[in-house]
Structure 1
């Protein structure tokens, strides 16, 4: 069997391991999916009437606001899901299982690959749940079939990029507890972008940060694909950010994992 075949076989084994962990410990998955749902319900039913009335001078209230905020909640769901990736990686690194893997005849790349693919599946399930709940409470996207396929591709790329960043953060964490907190800014960044209110309603300094931080073009791209709003160059910027984050996260993860291997 070739080296590539061994790597694929070992990666599949590690993927099964991570999927079984999700099934045996569903509380983390429920918690990571539940938080974006709570935020969705909170902003739509508590703040949606007021915030929706102020969007572009429209007076649609909650019906308008649920369409506006859902893309931000989808991105928040991805960020919450990858937070679980940091925790899982930190658990493996601190509990000694990776040291045991290194003594076995398995492809080293498979250890991280199993985490990445398993987290990607978890993120897609989280997104599906969020969209389902949003549809139940009034979300009405206008996307065509082609736009839905484009949306799926963009969501996969966003998830892939953030997962590699989360893997690096998990490897950099000294304890499992610190890994659960180190990824929190990823969940909070949509609040400091165009996710919940337009950036032109913010003070000058905050507006500058909101317009140039990576999550704003990601949200605007999702909003444009789902609702047909103008995207401008947001899609290009979003794709560039995804490539930068994915490449940076991968190289950082590889460096940290190899450093641990030499100790």
Structure 2
């Protein structure tokens, strides 16, 4: 097995163990999307007209919001590594910065998949009834993983950019806010023109619309391709930026 793969696997295992020890952060990351699902469905859903049952409309949006919340923990974890000096020990063991960051991204993706499963399970209990074929489920799962990986790499870059874990947590507010001005909770047609223009041309909307169509067995057209292009673009920029920032921080 190549050294890079061994190091990445070891770093992912380390990041998962660290996550399991930070019980409070883990509970918040898992519970907050569930609480938001309850709030939007039972407190706000009755006043929002989406042309369908609100639980059916909102679950895909909560899944994307869940990914954004989970990625915020990645930024904080990377910042803590940079601040704590553990990176010097990794470099002494010939562990590359890419392997360390990839380990955090893998751990973030796995955490988010657990949170996604909890949200989806809660949605089913609350009346969400997907009508996807096997191919639809596979496509939705693949798209969600692509988005998780992309946003986790972006969070890793934020963690390198921030000088403190507190600042990293603050910077990730923008990622967690992104699903709100999208089609996650209300149709974009109901928004003012200037806000609709933003909602139509930001990455969360095509991802959410693709997940919604795939899970409900509805036509999706070329929207999943647009969503994948966004994911690939975000990931490519974030990986390149992360490598550059890591060299600057450790050079």
| Bin for the TM-score computed over the shorter chain | over 0.9
Judge conservation of contact 1:82–1:163 (CA < 8 Å) in 2. Answer: yes
| Unaligned stretches of 5+ residues in structure 1 | 59-63
Work out whether 1:202 is the aligned partner of 2:205: no
Work out whether 1:95 is the aligned partner of 2:84: yes
Judge conservation of contact 1:169–1:182 (CA < 8 Å) in 2. Answer: yes
1:227 pairs with one of 198, 216, 227? 216
2:105 pairs with one of 98, 110, 116? 116
1:240 pairs with one of 202, 208, 229? 229
Q: Which structure has the larger Rg over C-alpha atoms?
A: 1
Work out whether 1:256 is the aligned partner of 2:245: yes
Shift of 1:207: 1.1
Alpha-carbon distance in structure 2 between the residues aligned to 1:126 and 1:11: 23
- In structure 2, the partner of 1:127 is 116
Judge conservation of contact 1:94–1:174 (CA < 8 Å) in 2. Answer: yes
Question: What RMSD, in angstroms, separates the aligned Cα atoms of the two structures?
Answer: 1.3
Alpha-carbon distance in structure 2 between the residues aligned to 1:79 and 1:66: 20
Work out whether 1:19 is the aligned partner of 2:24: no
Shift of 1:107: 3.8
Work out whether 1:176 is the aligned partner of 2:176: no
Work out whether 1:68 is the aligned partner of 2:57: yes
1:143 partner SS: coil
Work out whether 1:10 is the aligned partner of 2:7: yes
Q: TM-score, normalised by structure 1?
A: 0.92
Judge conservation of contact 1:36–1:77 (CA < 8 Å) in 2. Answer: yes
1:191 partner SS: coil
Judge conservation of contact 2:133–2:217 (CA < 8 Å) in 1. Answer: no
The runs of at least 4 consecutive aligned structure 1 residues that moved more than 6 Å come to none
Shift of 1:82: 0.6
Alpha-carbon distance in structure 2 between the residues aligned to 1:87 and 1:41: 27
Q: TM-score, normalised by structure 2?
A: 0.96
Judge conservation of contact 2:58–2:184 (CA < 8 Å) in 1. Answer: yes
Change (3 A) 1:206 1:109: closer
- Alignment: residue pair count: 251
- In structure 2, the partner of 1:61 is none
| Unaligned stretches of 5+ residues in structure 2 | none
Change (3 A) 1:214 1:105: closer
Alpha-carbon distance in structure 2 between the residues aligned to 1:91 and 1:83: 13
1:152 pairs with one of 106, 131, 141? 141
- In structure 1, the partner of 2:50 is 55
1:190 partner SS: coil
List per-residue Cα deviations over 1:83-108 (Å, max 9, x = no partner): 10001000001111112222223344
Judge conservation of contact 1:80–1:187 (CA < 8 Å) in 2. Answer: yes
